[in-house]
Structure 1
Amino acid sequence: MAIWDWKSGYKFQALETTAQPEFEAGIFACTFDRTSLRLITCETDKTIKIWREDPNTTPETHPIQWKPSLARTRF
């Protein structure tokens, strides 16, 4: 799972989980709690996980080094 800054498009935190034996890793559904500070996921291994942003991150520890692409792609 990755947490992105929606204004800049920068991925500032990546989180990994280990799927339970005999299951594939995947997310069926996700939603934020009422405070919008935690993300709740329902995963394919029949677990519910609660994620939160790392409270110790700062612009110095996770600098934005992302530059937008000016090229337009036609699909």
Structure 2
Amino acid sequence: MELTANRSTCIGSGQCVFTDPDAFDQDDDGIVLVLRPQPSAGDELARATEAVQICPSRSLVLSEQSA
């Protein structure tokens, strides 16, 4: 799986960082930074999925990794 963020639509709510501070951070303007773009199966993937689901601006996407 691949985790990406649309930084142009991010509103800086920080919900992703609260969900998984090891996978997300925010820049000086509060915009999302993806620290772990390829979460492993298990807990990492579950937290990434939760972050995608709760993002208020729908700026996070979890998709099949391209070959």
TM tier, smaller? under 0.3
Higher strand share: 1
User: Which structure shows the higher helix fraction?
Assistant: 2
Q: TM-score, normalised by structure 2?
A: 0.27
Structure with larger Rg? 1
- TM-score (norm. length: structure 1): 0.25
Higher RCO structure (Cα 8 Å, ≥6 apart): 2
